[in-house]
Amino acid sequence: MLKLYNSLTNRKEKFESLNEGLVKMYTCGPTVYYYQHIGNMRAYIFMDSLRRVLKYNGYKIKGVMNVTDVGHLTSDADSGEDKMEMAAKRENKNPYEIAKFYANIFFEDLKKLNVDVPENITYATKFIPQMIEFVRGLEEKGYTYKIDDGIYFDVQKFSGYGQLSQKDLSKKGNTRIEENINKHHPFDFALWKFVPENHIMKWDSPWGVGCPGWHIECSAMGRDILGDKFDIHTGGIDHKTVHHEDEIAQNDALAGHRVVQRWMHNEFLLVDGGKMSKSLGNVYTLSQLSQKGFTPMDFKFFCLNTHYSKKINFTFEGLKASSLGYKNLKNLVKEHFLGNSVVKDEVIEKYSNEFLQAINDDLNIPLAIGVVWTMLKNESKSKQIYELVCKFDKALGLELDNIEIEKKEEVPQKVVDLAQKRLVARQNKDYALSDRLRDEINDLGYSIKDKKDGFELEKL
């Protein structure tokens, strides 16, 4: 039985899809205004584990991941500048070029991490009509109001507001100084924002020229592709309190019922115990790790050794230890590939069950990796174990099936002939000839070691 945690109920629950054998799932994707850092990549490694475990359990997936190429402001709420416009100014390009450049790098990184990419990748700028239609729907139902800088969602009209983040509408807190004080409630959020003339990314709408709010993007793209009832929505824990709470409000207000059945969040990756920040100089990308000699798979292995719901403290010492562990693991896999022992069916069954239990217990990948270690270390070297690891790797995505078996290069016949002549010379105690033959062998790029009744040749 597959159990998955649900952030809405704060419980692990048995997973059953709405449609038999098919899981419809939405993942909040990147805002492509800069390089995605290794913390962001943890969110997609989590998505990868979830997709793989669902598939391991026999489900097909209809997945969506958005690429936010407009509408995400520098604050996650409704203030600040659009991140894309800001990057365009910084790099003296237009926002579409910025989006293309950073999205390409992002998808290359996913490939290097062997991440199972969702079936549908949706760029926000390609779904503006659907977003406008969504907002119109909310307007018709009376959930919106207009003020000087945009169209807002009225959270006090939606009775379920706060269900995910346990926010209490009566505790208003302070509206941040830079936010619009004309909002009816501090938690109200923009659905459509009017933008200044010089904004490059802007569209016509029934309310005036502007661009969509960040939250409506995910709601509209999810609805367009997955419909108004789907199984899972994922994202990083930072999105739980605002972005996802607001998505629920929009979705459920329009549909009149619960749209997303289960919310799942990955915890944060911290660096040296704290948040990554540019001022501390500790915002790393995958390519920066590569420059320091660590592969993307070293990083993935590092992440997978902690449960997705726990914080990870990233340090280079930790990554180094993981990298070593990963190499050792792959070496053990190789030994089994080359092994000739025969393993009993009960043994295979035992490990298969243990592995399945681990991954089905809310994606306990660290425990599942533990099962793999135990099996590889304790069982005599056998191809059956190798094949089982390859099967397990479908859920782990660690490329354990991709082992390099170095073929011993054949020594050229000419070198072997010289070595044989040298053996005879040594047996005849003709050391001058023997030395000359050694030099000739060395010149051809081989070293020769004398053994009791023979020799060993090795490439220099």
Q: Distance between CA atoms of 440 and 415, rounded to whole angstroms? A: 9
Q: Which does 31 bind (CB under 5 to 8 A by kind): Zn ion, ligand AMP, none?
A: ligand AMP
Token pair listed for 450: 């004398």
Q: Which does 360 bind (CB under 5 to 8 A by kind): Zn ion, ligand AMP, none?
A: none
385 binds ligand AMP (CB under 6 A): no
Q: Binding ligand AMP by CB under 6 A: which of 218, 269, 375, 400?
A: 269
User: For the chain, how far is it from start to end, CA to CA, in angstroms?
Assistant: 56
Number of CB atoms found within 10 A of residue 65's CB = 21
Total residues at interface with ligand AMP (CB under 6 A): 15
Which secondary-structure segment (H or E) carries 291?
helix 286-291
Taking CB under 6 A as the binding criterion, the range among 38-46, 247-255, 290-298, 397-405 that sits at the site for ligand AMP is 38-46
Q: How far is the CB of 53 from ligand AMP (least distance, A)?
A: 19
**Residue 231 corresponds to which amino acid?**
D
Q: Which does 63 bind (CB under 5 to 8 A by kind): ligand AMP, Zn ion, none?
A: none
Q: Distance between CA atoms of 388 and 404, rounded to whole angstroms? A: 18
Do 141 and 191 contact (CB within 8 A), yes or no? no
Q: Which does 218 bind (CB under 5 to 8 A by kind): Zn ion, ligand AMP, none?
A: Zn ion
39 binds ligand AMP (CB under 6 A): yes
- Candidates 220, 233, 239; CA nearest to 165 is 239
- Residue 232 DSSP SS3: strand
Q: Which does 118 bind (CB under 5 to 8 A by kind): Zn ion, ligand AMP, none?
A: none
30 binds ligand AMP (CB under 6 A): yes
Look at the alpha carbons of 170, 174, 177, 178 in this order and tell me if their dihedral is positive or negative. Answer: negative
Q: Distance between CA atoms of 332 and 326, rounded to whole angstroms? A: 10
Contacting residues toward Zn ion, per CB under 5 A: 28, 218
Q: Binding ligand AMP by CB under 6 A: which of 4, 8, 25, 43?
A: 43
Q: How far is the CB of 169 from ligand AMP (least distance, A)?
A: 24
Q: Binding ligand AMP by CB under 6 A: which of 24, 42, 183, 223?
A: 42
118 binds ligand AMP (CB under 6 A): no
79 dihedral zone (left: phi>0; alpha: psi -120 to 50; beta):
beta
Residues lying near ligand AMP in the complex (CB under 6 A) are found at 28, 30-31, 39-40, 42-43, 235-236, 238-239, 266, 268-269, 276
